[in-house]
Amino acid sequence: MSTTATNARADLSTPGAVTVTWTASGLDENCVGWRLTGEAASGGGVWNELARTSDPKATSLTAKAPAGTGPFHLMPMVKGTMAVIAGEIAGEVKEPPKEEPKPSGEILWVADGTAPLEQQIASVSVQGHCGQVATSENTTTDRLRVVSDGRFSKGRAVQAVMKAGDNCYSGRSEANFGNPPKPGFHKGQYHPGDEVWVAGEILYGPNYPIGQNDKADHCGGTNFQFHSWGGVGAATLGLCCNADSSAQKYGRIETWGEQKSMQLVFDKAVVGRIYKIVFHMIFKESGGTAEVYFAEGAGGIGTPTLKAQYLNAFTINPQGTYEGKVTNFSCFGFYENTNRKGESRGEVLWGGLCGATTRAAAEAKAFSSQ
């Protein structure tokens, strides 16, 4: 009895590959394996070997092949000869999916809650843990923690909560990359000559003091800062949510530079809605540049566009030095306006927050599900 194969089939479900299975019968001592060939995509009767095995008892062969290869022939390798015994196996190899090019640029830091928060930030300033290096204890409190939230691209966010009477550094619940420092987190710190893109999704919680216009400058609180080291002087750039000046009580997302000049980023912001924000900073001893890009919608909804710009407009506070260098660092969360001392309560959530050397890298990281 000669070696034969029945029920030979080609599985072409994997792009760029083929798997042929069969049932062998009549095996004898002359069969020393199996050989798989396929007709070239160009046709013309050109057949190429795709795979072979020296196991006569084998029942499958898998091979990578160019798209369009097929149909296929399965042959036993018999001492002294070869013969087609399975007939022609129909089908063609599929085109593999094209890989999307990864955006150029380096991710400098990530604070998106996809890992324990104490592994992503340097330090915290929250009630009961004011100005402390980040630990598992002070990053899982009712003032600062990671929460699951399907409204964000990554399905989670860092939640910062203020309660009435909180007085940590005038009243704040913040995560940051300095003050105090932590080894390994220097990429969230910036010096003259540095350029950084920071991207993330922000959401104001239901109790956030949005639209509370009963104070002089109507500011509910600051939610992101590039701040001078050591708490000296003003932040280089900050983002806050103000109230409008009318009785409509909607929020105005605004940014302010070192000179306290306000620029509108988005009018009529509301609680419970995702907003995408991108910061672009070029740090200089004088004449630094800041840009703020903004869009509504989590994930791929909306492309952030330029809303506020400070060209050659700011100076890093020369008193804010760390290890002999003039230094800024990123901090985010909820820092109440000084006119509301002890009154602010509510929450703000940041999702996908990260810093990178290019806009493409920052946005790809911040606004994807990965």
pLDDT tens, residue by residue, 190-233? 999 999 999 999 998 887 877 554 444 445 678 999 988 876 55
Query: Considering the chain, what percentage of its residues have pLDDT values greater than 90?
Result: 46
d(CA 54, CA 253): 70
> What is the average pLDDT across 137-149?
96
Residue 249 pLDDT level (bands cut at 50, 70, 90): low
d(CA 155, CA 150): 4
Residue 84 pLDDT level (bands cut at 50, 70, 90): very low
d(CA 364, CA 176): 22
d(CA 334, CA 309): 23
d(CA 61, CA 330): 55
Each residue's pLDDT tens digit, 37-56: 999 988 888 999 999 999 98
Tell me if domain 4-89 and domain 107-366 are identical in fold: no
Residue 101 pLDDT level (bands cut at 50, 70, 90): confident
Helices (H) and strands (E) in the chain, counts: 1, 27
Q: Residue 177's Cα: distance from chain center in Å?
A: 18
pLDDT confidence of residue 332: 94
CB atoms within 10 A of CB 174: 26
Q: The domain 4-89 belongs to what CATH superfamily? A: Immunoglobulins (2.60.40.10)
In this predicted structure, the answer to whether residue 257 has a pLDDT above a threshold of 80 is: no
pLDDT confidence of residue 140: 97
> What is the average pLDDT across 311-322?
76
Q: Is 284 helix (H, G, I), strand (E, B) or coil?
A: coil
CATH number of 107-366: 2.60.120.200
| Alpha-carbon distances of 111 from 162, 250, 350, rounded to whole Å | 19, 29, 9
Query: Where along the chain do its domains lie?
Result: 4-89, 107-366
Q: Residue 246's Cα: distance from chain center in Å?
A: 37
In this predicted structure, the answer to whether residue 300 has a pLDDT above a threshold of 60 is: no
